[in-house]
A and B are shown apart, each in its own frame.
Chain A
Amino acid sequence: MKEQRHIRLIINGETRSGQVEPRKLLVDFLREDLGLTGTHVGCEHGICGACTILVNGEAARSCLMLAVQADGAELRTVEGLAGKDGLHPLQNAFREHHGLQCGFCTPGMLMTAYDLLQANPTPTEEEIRAGLSAVLCRCTGYHGIVQAVQAAAERIQATK
């Protein structure tokens, strides 16, 4: 039996724990051990961004982190983006602006956009494009995604 470590973290507001091999990737822990399959694995070398989640409030690649590194951290995944009163404005805007087709990059794209709007609540189109360049989408040409993030930013500002 390989060495196992006990880890404990908060995911989408819930405390979860598990026994993991030290070499296990955080994304594999989320998907396989916790059943949170909304976070996707696209490249395992930190380029495509599909596995992006929030770690202690900031966007991070869960394919470039080990599960043991997240011990004690607070995580947020796409499953935790919608609130009790419905979808997050970003999720609604993605649907309205056709910001997704196959949906594979979408969880990483949403979490990256969330992080972007936290840091810059009123981004220009150019800033959105630069901010989202951390996530690859092969379906949309980013057209609907950029529009959606712009629209969500406006909606969030308007409700403040």
Chain B
Amino acid sequence: MSELTPKLIGARVQRREDQRLLTGQGTYVDDHHPSGLLHAAFLRSSYAHARIAHLDVAPARALTGVVAVLTGTDLASLVKPVRAGSKTRDYKETSIPPLAVDKVRYVGEAVAVVVAESRYLAEDALEQISVDYDPLLVVADAEEARRSDTTLVHDEAGSNVLLSRQFAQGEVDTAIETAAVRVRERFRFHRHAAVCMENRGCVAEYQTGTGFLTLRSATQCPGLLRDVLADLLDLPEHCVRVVANDVGGGFGAKSSLYQEELTLCAVTRLLGRPVKWISDRREDHMTSTQAWDEVVEAELALRADGTIVGLRAEVTSDIGAYSIYPWTATVEPVQVISFLPGAYRVPHYRGRTQGVATCKAPTGPYRGVGRPITSFVMEGLMDRAARRLGKDPVELRLQNYIRPEDFPYKTPSGIVWDEASLIECMEKVRAALDYEETRRWQRQVQAEGRWIGIGFATYIELTGIGSAIPVSPGMPISTGTEAAFLRVDPSGTITATFSVAPQGQGHETALAQVVADALGVTFDAVRVVCGDTAVAPHGTGTYASRSAVLAGGAAILAGQALRDKALRIAGHLMETNPADLALQGGYVVVRDKPGRSMPFREVAKAAYGGLRRLPKDMEPGLEVTRFYDPYYGTASSATHVAVVEVDRETCAVKVLRYIVVEDCGRVINPLIVEGQVRGGVAQGIGAALYEEVVYDENGQLLTGSLMDYLVPTAAELLPIEVHHVETPSPSTVGGFRGMGEGGTIGAPAALANAVSDALSPLGIEINELPITPNRLFRLIREASKGKEKI
């Protein structure tokens, strides 16, 4: 492969997407109005666990403007049941019906669908459907659900434990029991939700004349949906098109197959008319996948000098009512034990995890997947250990990081870290904060009675995952490749088509930068098209911090292949050896002969034929598709630091300063990278301080609106400082590392540690997130009582 000369890669290029999005010309799914459009509304269960004793939809069918009303039984004859398979041992596969049949398993589960001439009419008709539910006992808590052998969410599984898994290395029990220092904690990370500003929704359109199905959906994964929909609907794959134009946020919650998507496809096929469903906010809170609902009992052991000797953990993960397609219930529970040892050398390790079904909304991927929890736990243990040892938390981390000479480093769970700049990131954060001075200031203001704390968190994550490892354990579909299809028109403009599908990550800009550099043309010459399976090469979508690595790598391979052909054509036209030519900024130039050049558009024109314009043996045309598989993937890492103050009156936590130093390898566009980091940190701050999905013991959702589920506003957040360490990945084409999730992985841990540090005079160590004023008030009151007794 010839060398890449970055010109646009690394430049702070303003986004091409912005012009349309700033002027109201985006095309989100709800902006699509095909003629003859019908509207769907779903009747949803008000019970968390109940038998459907009686369901009468006839009065709804009789209403003017209602075209169809379908139940779970109707749907069962139109589509195959969804079963999310996994080869993981001790995984119990279960079915997901498109609409509930016989029983409901969570509040909000769809029971019937009304299709009408307008959404208003469809919603009116829902009120005419009568359902009698026979309530069943509800298991709303994972630890309770695990113990129950009578109240089963899925009878076919025979247990609520749908998954058990263990990773072990060395003699962990001996190592821990003979260690000088042991810290043990029970950590609770409460359930969270992605809360995209655009609710989920889709428009399905089946053409009876051609047998062609188009689904427009607010999804991250058009390619993945296309493959599974063709299978479930028994349609040839080339007759199914899935399109995601502009999508209003995803963060993982739009990466799974949803029942509404499948139902709408079945309905449009039945009726031969296009059908739209747009979720309202309440439905979105009830039914979009939730995440991060774990209890982790963990113990870390160290030698007296601070060297880590062992770590063991038991994880209980509440996976909700269904094991979702395609990621399954394994995605989060297994990720927690895979990545728990974090950025440290841990010679002896055992992580055990269980995924437990409960009568709550299904869980799925949400930014960070499991790793916000691993950071919270491991970084929390590191700070506890530092306090016991009387060591500085920064020094203890530096002492235990995987060292530069250890890379490639194989973790106890079998993940290989190619390379990471852990020490450099920490040193840079320490300098950016002016750590020693900040500690001095902290001691001074603490003496005045203020509760100020400093908290660090380091993480390392696997990004750009290739074919050697499935994104979710044992998953039968391939997530290890992506492709780029580049087509040069006779005028010399380039259309670059990808099957990755962004929801705000700026692919149209970043991938155009990569293609332009790989080919040697200007930014404006390249147009990027994403998110339409009808035109894209085969692939799955945008998730798991993969697009820059996989699509970027494919873009480089394809761009360079195109350039090589273009130079052979140019060599023929210019009667020069192609080896002496280069393509730069849209011109073919002769090396060492300034002044002799040819515009790329002339080469492009020649490529499509004409009188002796091409070498005799050359195939006409100038287009190429290249697939890329990074095989293992690559490590991304960062260290975060937060400085916080706990208000003595209100127990509210205020973030005073937040700094990130991250290494995502070669940066394509710093503007976009910093935006991703800051957005990720904002979600992490929300997760740590404000956000929590709350269900009561009957499985009723108590946070079904944005008044109850508290997404941070501009008033709660602060300017977030971002610095880069740029270590090009040794294992990916282009040197890129994925970075879409990291901000959210580091922030909850950094904030928990900062609050623990602030309250260290009271001996309070945070082990439960979010740190709401209520929780903090109780902790402070308890701690103060203890003090009075002493």
In angstroms, Cα B26 to Cα A106, docked, is 10
Which chain B positions have C-beta within 8 A of A45? Answer: 281, 705-707
Assuming the A-B contacts A40-B248, A44-B280, A142-B714, are A101 and B30 also in contact, with contact meaning beta carbons closer than 8 angstroms in the complex?
A: no
Cβ-defined contact, A98 with B28, below 8 A: no
Taking the closest CB of chain B, its distance from the CB of A93, in whole angstroms, is: 10
B165 on the interface (CB 8 Å rule)? no
With both beta carbons as reference points, the residue of chain B lying nearest to A108 in the complex is identified as B197
Cβ-defined contact, A39 with B672, below 8 A: no
A156 on the interface (CB 8 Å rule)? no
A8 on the interface (CB 8 Å rule)? no
With both beta carbons as reference points, the residue of chain B lying nearest to A41 in the complex is identified as B30
Assuming the A-B contacts A42-B198, A91-B22, A98-B672, are A138 and B714 also in contact, with contact meaning beta carbons closer than 8 angstroms in the complex?
A: no
In angstroms, Cα B504 to Cα A140, docked, is 10
B682 on the interface (CB 8 Å rule)? yes
In angstroms, Cα B246 to Cα A141, docked, is 20
B713 on the interface (CB 8 Å rule)? yes
Which chain A positions have C-beta within 8 A of B504? Answer: 100-103, 139
Cβ-defined contact, B15 with A98, below 8 A: yes
Taking the closest CB of chain A, its distance from the CB of B386, in whole angstroms, is: 29
Assuming the A-B contacts A21-B120, A45-B707, A141-B678, are A103 and B720 also in contact, with contact meaning beta carbons closer than 8 angstroms in the complex?
A: no
User: CB-defined interface of B2-15 with A at 8 Å, one 1/0 digit per residue?
Assistant: 00000000000011
B17 contacts which of A81, A103, A136, A137 (Cβ < 8 Å)?
A: A103
User: CB-defined interface of A145-158 with B at 8 Å, one 1/0 digit per residue?
Assistant: 11000000000000
Cβ-defined contact, B248 with A133, below 8 A: no
A102 contacts which of B247, B674, B705 (Cβ < 8 Å)?
A: B247
In angstroms, Cα B494 to Cα A106, docked, is 29
Cβ-defined contact, B675 with A98, below 8 A: yes
Taking the closest CB of chain B, its distance from the CB of A107, in whole angstroms, is: 6
Taking the closest CB of chain A, its distance from the CB of B399, in whole angstroms, is: 32
Kindly identify, within residues 206 to 249 of chain B, every residue whose CB is under 8 Å from any CB belonging to chain A.
246-249
Cβ-defined contact, A104 with B714, below 8 A: no
A107 contacts which of B24, B249, B713 (Cβ < 8 Å)?
A: B24
In angstroms, Cα B14 to Cα A95, docked, is 7
Which chain B positions have C-beta within 8 A of A31? Answer: 30-31
Which chain B positions have C-beta within 8 A of A137? Answer: 197, 714
A104 contacts which of B18, B22, B28, B713 (Cβ < 8 Å)?
A: B28
Cβ-defined contact, A36 with B717, below 8 A: no
Taking the closest CB of chain B, its distance from the CB of A149, in whole angstroms, is: 9
> Which interface class (under 10, 10 to 19, 20 to 34, 35 or more) fits A?
35 or more
Assuming the A-B contacts A48-B706, A98-B15, A102-B503, are A36 and B24 also in contact, with contact meaning beta carbons closer than 8 angstroms in the complex?
A: yes
Which chain A positions have C-beta within 8 A of B22? Answer: 78, 87, 91, 94-95, 100, 103, 106, 110
Kindly identify, within residues 2 to 48 of chain B, every residue whose CB is under 8 Å from any CB belonging to chain A.
14-15, 17-19, 21-26, 28, 30-31, 33
A38 contacts which of B17, B25, B196, B199 (Cβ < 8 Å)?
A: B25
Which chain B positions have C-beta within 8 A of A98? Answer: 14-15, 671-672, 674-675
In angstroms, Cα B21 to Cα A140, docked, is 15
Which chain A positions have C-beta within 8 A of B322? Answer: none
B368 on the interface (CB 8 Å rule)? no
Taking the closest CB of chain B, its distance from the CB of A148, in whole angstroms, is: 10
Which chain A positions have C-beta within 8 A of B24? Answer: 36-39, 77-79, 107
Which chain A positions have C-beta within 8 A of B14? Answer: 95-96, 98
Most central of A40, A110, A132 by chain B CB within 10 Å: A40
B711 on the interface (CB 8 Å rule)? yes
Assuming the A-B contacts A103-B246, A110-B22, A138-B251, are A95 and B15 also in contact, with contact meaning beta carbons closer than 8 angstroms in the complex?
A: yes
A143 on the interface (CB 8 Å rule)? yes
**Residues of chain B whose beta carbon lies under 8 Å from any beta carbon of chain A:** 14-15, 17-19, 21-26, 28, 30-31, 33, 120, 194-199, 246-251, 278, 280-281, 503-506, 671-672, 674-675, 678-679, 681-683, 705-707, 711, 713-715, 717, 719-720
A-B contact pairs, 10 of them (CB 8 A): A31-B30, A41-B278, A42-B281, A43-B281, A48-B281, A48-B706, A96-B14, A103-B22, A129-B717, A138-B251
**Contacts A45-B281, A102-B197, A142-B682 given; 12 further ones with Cβ under 8 A?**
A43-B705, A47-B707, A78-B23, A87-B22, A100-B504, A101-B505, A102-B196, A102-B198, A102-B249, A104-B28, A129-B714, A138-B711
**Residues of chain A whose beta carbon lies under 8 Å from any beta carbon of chain B:** 21, 23-24, 31-32, 36-45, 47-48, 50, 77-79, 81-82, 87, 91, 94-96, 98, 100-107, 110, 128-130, 132-146
